[in-house]
Structure 1
Amino acid sequence: MGKNILVFSTVVVFLLSIASAVPGIATFYQSYTPSACYGGTPEGVMIAAASDTLWDNGKVCGKYFTVKCTGARNPVPHPCTGKSVRVKIVDHCPAGCASTIDLSREAFAQIANPVAGIINIDYFQ
């Protein structure tokens, strides 16, 4: 009985996370520079910058988002790997940013072919 409850609970959490996913756009940056959240302190490689849509005056700093590629935004066919990646927000994407979340190159490569450069995503916190 206890095992059934655990399995059911896991399924419910998974379904809720899918239901709460938000569509967006992801790009990646070539090299890490000092960030709006942590200055020059290294925060690892699974990191991202938040667009104005998510920034909320820096309240998103340090928050983790799970990001999954959902399709191409340019002629690169089938860029998605089928994986998702969990990233920490460490920076603010500059004004005019072409994406919702600007991923590190390493994070982008986990979910899509970097040749694509820009992809459609679903993300959730």
Structure 2
Amino acid sequence: MVACLISFASATLGIATFYTKYVTSACFRNQDQGKMIAVAGDALRDNGTVCRKILTVTCMGPRNHVPHPCTGKSVTVKIVDHCPSCPSTIVLSQEAFTIIVKPVAGIINVEYKWYA
């Protein structure tokens, strides 16, 4: 039971959306990192220290009027880039986004947890 409380307490709330064009990244240059990737918004960037870090993201609900967009699943992604001035905390690849939410939602509330 203590492990469950620790896990829950270390999760952070944020906002997520998705993108579809994967180009050269700030963290990996031209190296392909697959499809389970994400971009950090300004709130997470921390002067580039989030590059290459892994996090699990879970949909917590809509930010628009799409009813019940969450699938109930979580997705684990790697931060590969920075999105200056993005309105979202995290921008997921479309493939990662559709695991946790119906794509029609566009933008969602999320909970995310960093891995060491």
TM over 0.5: yes
Matched pairs, number = 114
Residue 106 of structure 2 corresponds to residue 117 of structure 1: yes
Summarize the alignment of residues 79-118 of structure 1 with structure 2, pairs less than 5 Å apart.
79-95=69-85, 97-118=86-107
Summarize the alignment of residues 23-102 of structure 1 with structure 2, pairs less than 5 Å apart.
23-95=13-85, 97-102=86-91
Partners of 2:17 and 2:36 in 1: CA distance:
14
Residue 38 of structure 1 aligns with an amino acid whose one-letter code is: F
What is the CA distance between 1:52 and its match in structure 2?
1.1
What is the CA distance between 1:14 and its match in structure 2?
3.4
Of all paired residues, the percent bearing the same amino acid is 62
| Contact 1:27 1:98 survives alignment (8 Å) | no
| Contact 1:69 1:119 survives alignment (8 Å) | yes
What is the CA distance between 1:75 and its match in structure 2?
1.1
- Higher share of residues assigned strand: 2
- Higher share of residues assigned helix: 1
Q: What's the CA shift string for 1:56-110, capped at 9, x where partnerless?
A: 1111111001100000001111100000111100000122x12000000011001
Q: What root-mean-square deviation, in Å, do the aligned CA atoms of Structure 1 and Structure 2 show?
A: 1.0
Residue 34 of structure 1 aligns with an amino acid whose one-letter code is: T
Structure 2 residue ranges without an equivalent (≥5): none
Structure 1 residue ranges without an equivalent (≥5): 1-10
Structure 1 moving runs of 4+ over 4 Å: none
Residue 62 of structure 1 aligns with an amino acid whose one-letter code is: R
The TM-score with structure 2 as length reference comes to 0.93
